[in-house]
Amino acid sequence: MNKPYKNRTINPRKPVKVYWNLHLDCYSVQQSGKVVAHADQVELRKVTFHVNEAGRQRVLKERRKNVHAFVVGYLDDALARYWDIKIVYNPYKYDSFRLWASDKVTVTSAEAVILRIRNGKSDILAEGRIGTHCA
């Protein structure tokens, strides 16, 4: 799943923050404020989605991306999941994570997600119940 960073280990009882690393074209996994791994795929459970609005405004002002959006949850190794809900985020279009099928719906949480690379880009899919509200 992941490549440890600086020989750091992940405590499975603590949540991780995952974001798309623009320089490495993979996901960076943080725990307790430090990068602990880089990965091509991460599966999480008990997930929440976060966008730092000040960071997003900096993207809009500078027209240059920075790390300001995270998926937070606990590492999950469930074998059989049906990833049926696509989630997207684009700081130039949205102020939050959204449903791909209906981008007026904000996604705030999910039972489980998989963050993976597809065609060289970030791809986020969810399973089960998701927390939403209309934008």
pLDDT tens-place string over residues 8-20: 899 999 999 999 9
Detail the DSSP E strand segments found in the chain.
Answer: 2-4, 16-21, 26-31, 34-39, 41-51, 69-75, 85-88, 98-99, 105-118, 121-134
pLDDT at 82: 80
Nearest residue to 131 (alpha-carbon basis) of 55, 13, 48? 48
Nearest residue to 72 (alpha-carbon basis) of 51, 49, 52? 49
pLDDT at 42: 94
pLDDT tens-place string over residues 61-119: 998 888 889 999 999 877 667 888 999 999 999 999 999 989 899 999 999 999 999 99
Q: How confident is the model at residue 135 (pLDDT cuts 50, 70, 90)?
A: low
pTM across the whole model: 0.89
pLDDT tens-place string over residues 19-68: 999 899 999 999 999 999 999 999 999 999 999 999 888 888 998 888 88
